[in-house]
Amino acid sequence: MTARRRYEGDVALAAPGPGGAEGSRPGPAGAGATGGGSGGADVPSPDPGGAGPGAAAGVVSGPSTSRPAGAGAAAGAGATALEALRVPDALSARVPAEQRGAGRDDVRLLVSRGRAVAHHAFRELPEQLRAGDVLVVNTSMTLPAAVNGRVGGEQVVVHFSTRGADGRWAVELRAPAGAGVTGPRPGGPAGAVVRLPGGRALVLEEPLGPAAGARLWWARVPERVPELLHRYGRPIRYGYTDRDQPLSAYRTVFAVPSPDGSGSAEMPSAARPFTVPLVAELVRRGVLFAPLSLHTGVASAEAHEPPYPERFAVPAATAWLVNAVREAGRGRVVAVGTTAVRALESAVGADGAVRPADGWTDLVVTPRRGVRAVDGLLTGLHEPRASHLLMLEAVAGREALRRGYEAALQERYLWHEFGDVHLILPDEERNAPNCSSNEW
């Protein structure tokens, strides 16, 4: 069976509220959460009581709507392996791949096998996998989560992050800075009324976490927020991008609508380069797909905070498939994106078995905690200070991660959601790539 890294001393760290997207973002420019999964043991929805009985495993009752789900999210996380690296602005992907090349899949693929690094086109992904491997994909659909608003005489952009069980939404108010760009704005105050399009309004009620400097606030919102977003909203855009893009540019081939209209505030971007023909080719070669959902909230624009509690669902069929592949020992479980890692690892027990789950997770995967259900990871390139790099280090190891990022800088790979991608695989002698058939 494939060797898998395991660590003692689980760390399930809670942060002050929802947020955290697939990749790190240096700064938003403009102005969201999808149900998925079915069956399995339910995890309670968010309530004012804070973390539920599953907190030790990283599954919690959700972000409290009256106080933080936990304290000290960064405690024990440690510094990332790459903080000394600097990514030049010129390496920020400013437009989608299809606008600078031949299609969504016209990006580069950095492949790390242990400490060895190789360079490929993303269209060569089938040659890097083998029959029996399973790709775990996030089906959460990106919402047009940015809406213009006004607080008194002040113009603001409201970023809708996450819906709580009591119907309130966690929101961030941003200050317009021209040309579609926004900047940080002090949150609050409590009781502030934000006028929205269509004669609607929301009322800020309390911050998520300490009041001083809180960027996310629980807000009482009008009914049918998804309807409001689809009518007046636009995708959250970041300052390094050249211009606004249609909502379709922020959705992946795996995205499916949720019956309740929820989804992600920010795109699970690791899956963005996949196309229907590429998925078909992977299936033809015997690569399996396992869907789950994790609805990302609004990431911190100016500070690299750990991710906040987020809604997730691991269906029974996905849990069964992952366990079957691991038991057989012939394939590898490769998560597509850090969101898929967070969801899947939140559903794994101390015995290493994945169980169906549906609820909220505050799990932060670190090198100390390690990974139990994941062998590999396909992800974007993250800022050197991003908390996501702790997860990458847990999968790849510090030295392998350092070598990969140094190679990406040297070869001038592109960063962020429209950029190139990084495939991290275990260093196995039996990991011969190029699966040419669906025969095991």
Report the alpha-carbon distance of residue 216 to residue 210 in Å, rounded. Answer: 10
Report the alpha-carbon distance of residue 248 to residue 243 in Å, rounded. Answer: 14
| Model confidence at 183: pLDDT above 90 | no
pLDDT in tens, 275-312: 999 999 999 999 999 999 999 998 765 555 667 789 99
Average pLDDT, the chain: 81
Report the alpha-carbon distance of residue 383 to residue 25 in Å, rounded. Answer: 7
CA distances from 173 to 30, 165, 201, 295, 391 (A): 11, 21, 13, 20, 29
- pLDDT attached to residue 224: 87
Give pTM, 2 decimals. Answer: 0.81
- pLDDT attached to residue 77: 44
pLDDT in tens, 189-243: 999 999 999 999 999 999 987 777 788 999 999 878 999 999 999 999 988 888 8
Residue linked to tokens 């390139």: 381
Per-residue pLDDT band for 182 (boundaries 50, 70, 90) equals confident
| Model confidence at 6: pLDDT above 70 | no
Higher confidence at residue 385 or residue 426?
426
**Cβ–Cβ < 8 Å for 298, 265:** yes
Per-residue pLDDT band for 90 (boundaries 50, 70, 90) equals very high
Q: What are phi and psi of 42, to 5 degrees?
A: -75, 145
- pLDDT attached to residue 300: 65
In this prediction, residues 152-161 reach a mean pLDDT of: 95
SS3 403: helix
Report the alpha-carbon distance of residue 41 to residue 293 in Å, rounded. Answer: 15
Query: For a pLDDT cut of 70, what percent of the chain falls above it?
Result: 77
**Cβ–Cβ < 8 Å for 236, 262:** no
